[in-house]
Amino acid sequence: MDEHEARLKRLRMRSWRRGTKEMDLILGPFSDSDLAGLSPAELDLYEALLEENDQDLYPWITARLGDARPGPAALSPLLDRIARHAQGSLGPK
């Protein structure tokens, strides 16, 4: 396994084992479907996002399902992408 694949595997595991079930269900599926398509710079941002605690991340992401845009500006594009993914996979069918 090369270094990039090992990094993706590590990030997927961290995404699925967050500490709160809500964030597992948001970040886990996102990591399974979208991580491989992220650029190295985006992976760096995702890694920084994973350093945030779930009590902050959850409202930052779920508020984006409406019109609010809370959270650090540097993470905003990634938070928007995760929110769109969550809405598509967890929202009403």
Mean pLDDT of 77-81: 94
CB-hemisphere CA count at 13 Å for 27? 28
Global confidence as pTM: 0.87
6 has a pLDDT exceeding 80: yes
Residue 90: the pLDDT is 64
Residue 89: the pLDDT is 74
User: pLDDT-derived band of residue 48, with 50, 70 and 90 as boundaries?
Assistant: very high
User: pLDDT-derived band of residue 93, with 50, 70 and 90 as boundaries?
Assistant: low
Place of tokens 């350093």: 51
What is the residue type of 22? E
Give residue 25's Cα distance to chain centre. 10
